[in-house]
Structure formats: C-alpha cells, structure tokens
Amino acid sequence: MKKFTRRDFLKLSAVGLAASGAVVMAGRIIAIPPDLKLPDPYPELPEQVPTIPKQGSGARFFNEHQYTLVATLAALFIPTDEAPGATEANVVEYIDNMVSLSKKSQSQYTQGLKWIDRVSERKYGKDFLSLRVEEQIGLMRFADNAAALRRRPVANIVQRLDRKIESVWDDLTGVGEGSPFFHMLREDVFYGYYSNPVSWKVVGYYGPPQPVGYPDYSEPPSNAHYAGVVRAADDTTCRSCHYDQTKKASHRNRMECTGCHTSHFDPGGKG
C-alpha cells in the first residue's frame, strides 16, 4: 500500500475545505510549499562527532537508555571541539539531578524522550541512538522546526489555516505533541553547560555574581580573573552566611558574616 504522506494529507484537507465551500482559500493553501523550512540562523560549520560519557552508577532518575539519550542529545546541542562541550561539562548529570527533584519534569522527560525515539522510528525506522550523527542532527533540526513553525506569527486567515493543518498533521504523526520538549531540552542543556565552570573558560565568564561582585568593573577586562586573582570562581566561598540553611539567616546574620563581605561592612554599624 502506498504510504500516506504529508502532501496527501494536505490535499485531503483541501478537498474537505473545498467541499465546505472554501474553494478559493483551499487553492491557496495547496500553493504554499508544504515542506516550508525556516532558514538556519547561521552558516553551517562542520559538526563534530560527539563523545558520549558512559552512564555513571549515580544516576538519580534516568534509566540507562534515557541517560545515554540525554547525554547524546546534549552533546549535539553543545558539541566538543577544541574546547570542552556538554559531555565534558557533564550536562547529563545536571539534568538528571534537576529532573529527580521535580515530578513535573520527570513526566515531561519520560514523555519527551519517548517522543524523540518515536519520531526517529517514524523517519528512519530505528531509535535515535542507532542513527548516524548526520541523521541525528537532521532529526533535531526537524524537531526544532516543528516547534518553531507552530509558533511563527500568522498574518491572515490563509496562513492560520495552513498552520492549523500543519499542526493537525504533526499531531497525527506524533511529532506535534512533543515538540515543546525540544525547546525545553535546549534550555536545560544551556543552563547545565553554562553553569559549569568548564564553560566559563570557553566564553570568558568569571562565575556567579555574588558574593564577590566585580571589584574591577571600571577597568578593562584582564585575563587575571580566570586565574582567580580577583575572584574565586567557586560557590563554596561565603558558606558561612549564604548557605547555612539550618540557621534562619536574617538581616542581622549578615553582620556576623566573617567571610567574603568583611571588607564591605562597617563594623560599627553606624551611618
């Protein structure tokens, strides 16, 4: 039997619309190229083959398949080149930890990862991890666009109908229901990578803004920061006042802080 394609679906929808009297509009819908793609934001650079970490024994929520799948996807979002990527920053562990803390994320991730494999099965006949890297990237582009197409602004009723048809088609093929997952995953991978000191060296960041602040903010940037001369890029500083969850730290406690803020305090408390 001939495979039912997206184009057939569009035609069929058009027939349905024509039958209900919207002949002119339906004609215009068919005229819109069905495989409308959004332009790539940047000229393509050669993609690196990602290196995938083996599953650590300490995974909190993901099973082995999920763990490897997230790690693989993360490595495609932020590949390793001459500089470390998501793999080196252990983004999968960050996400695993984050997901383990929230019931909502757990169901989103369980569903979303199933969706990735389902789309992969439908397009290539095998699960995501069995694909070649180019196929994996292709599939991610597809997922990316599916969500973007759904969000793109529409100017008139024809475009609105076209988008509706697209989304119905996506839902029928199981793409649409999961496409927000792609963007959620992108966000989580970026948060995971860029909160890791490994990435700070790559982009030239000094670490979290507190507790040290930026004493050199009026000077030109210098590389000294990275050596930790100006600030210690380490969140163990100031544990005494910022992390004591047992004491109910109040405004008053800030006065007792003997760590990082000593120099900024007026010990007499007058003013």
Partner 1 sequence: MKKKVTACVIGSGAGGGVVAKELAEKGISVVVLEAGRRLNPLQDYTTALRDWERAGREDHLFSVPEMDRVTFGRPGMSRPYEALGVGGTTLRYLAYMVRLTPEDFRTYSMDGIGADWPIMYEDLARHYRKVETEMQVSGLHGDPWSLWKEPFPQPPFEMSYRDSILKRGFDKLGLRLWPVPVARLSRPFRGRPACVNCGECEHGCMTGAKSSIDVTYIAKAEATGKVEVRPESRVTRIAVDPRGRARGVIYFDRNGSEHMQEADIIILSAGSVQSPRLLLNSKSALFPDGLANSSGLVGKYFMQHVSIVARAIFPERIDSFRGFSGGLISKDHAKTSPGNNFARGWVYELSSGVRGPAQMALSLPGWGASHKDRMRKTFGHMAGLAMVGEQLPEEKNRIELDPKVKDAYGMPVPRMTLGLSENDRSMLEAMKKHSREVLHSAGATEIELAYHRLGASSHNMGGCRMGKEPKTSVLNSYCQCHDVPNLFVIDASCFVTGGTANPSLTIMAIATRAAGYIADQGKKGGVG
| Interface of this chain with partner 1, residues 84 to 113, rule: CB under 8 A | 85, 94
Which residue among 121, 135, 144, 177 contacts partner 1 (CB under 8 A)? 144
Stretch that binds partner 1, among 4-12, 112-120, 164-172, 198-206 (CB under 8 A): 198-206
Q: Which of 21, 33, 46, 58 binds partner 1 (CB under 8 A)?
A: 46
The distance of closest approach from Cβ of residue 97 to partner 1 in the complex, given in angstroms and rounded to an integer, is: 10
Q: Which CB, 63 or 210, lies closer to partner 1?
A: 210
CA-to-CA separations, 53 to 57, 90, 198, 202, in angstroms, rounded: 12, 8, 16, 20
Smaller CB separation from partner 1, 11 or 240 = 240
Nearer to partner 1, 171 or 187 (CB): 187
Nearer to partner 1, 57 or 223 (CB): 223
Give the whole-angstrom CA distance, residue 74 versus residue 192: 9
Total of residues contacting partner 1 (CB under 8 A): 74
Nearer CB in complex with partner 1: 14/115: 115
Check residue 255 for interaction with partner 1 (CB under 8 A).
Answer: yes
Report the candidate in 123, 120, 141 with the shortest Cα–Cα distance to residue 186.
141
Residue 12: CB minimum distance to partner 1, A: 30
218 binds partner 1 (CB under 8 A): yes
The single residue among 137, 142, 167, 174 that binds partner 1, judged by CB under 8 A, is 137
* Interaction mask 2-41, partner 1, x per CB under 8 A: --------------------------------------xx
**Could you say whether residue 219 binds partner 1 (CB under 8 A)?**
yes
Nearer to partner 1, 30 or 52 (CB): 52
Of the candidate spans 16-24, 62-70, 169-177, 245-253, the one that interacts with partner 1 by CB under 8 A turns out to be 245-253
Nearest to residue 9, comparing CAs of 179, 183, 144, 175?
A: 175
| Closest CB 62 distance from partner 1, rounded Å | 19
222-225 contacts: CB < 8 A, separation 24 or more?
Answer: none
Query: Quick one: 13 or 136, whose CB is closer to partner 1?
Result: 136
User: Angle, to 10 degrees, between the axis of helix 179-194 and the axis of helix 103-124?
Assistant: 120
Which of the residues 155 through 194 are near partner 1 (CB under 8 A)? Answer: 186-187, 189-194
